[in-house]
Amino acid sequence: MSAMTYNGYQARIEFDPDDEIFTGRIAGISDVVGFHADTVESLKAAFHEAVDDYVETCAKAGKSPQKPYSGRVMFRISPEVHARAAIAAELSGKSLNEWAEQALAEAAGKRAA
């Protein structure tokens, strides 16, 4: 599995060995937008076309296209983990939000700004 990026959208890419094609789906939005191709170059073009068509279709329907992720994350963790994270943040001189952003960015493979 791999990913592609275009105009702020990312797609998850997989190869189907039975049909010998690449398939992709835009990630991070609730609308289902997929595409496929049999070469990498065609796959890039299909992805760009899928994103452009999605944005255009939303405009025609009078709705705003979803943008992946707002930057707001809400999840539940145990009180013990919450306490340890808050202490670790304080000891590092950061707010819990700053500390958590850095931890998540590092876990996701990219350093926080």
Q: Where are the domains of the chain?
A: 2-61, 70-113
Confidence class for position 28, pLDDT limits 50, 70, 90: confident
Residue-wise pLDDT tens digits, 33-74? 999 999 999 999 999 999 999 999 999 999 999 886 677 888
* pTM (two decimals): 0.63
Q: What is the DSSP string of the chain?
A: -EEEEETTEEEEEEEETTTTEEEEEEESSSS--EEEESSHHHHHHHHHHHHHHHHHHHHHHT-PPPPS--S-------HHHHHHHHHHHHHTT--HHHHHHHHHHHHTTS---
The predicted pLDDT at position 68 comes to 66
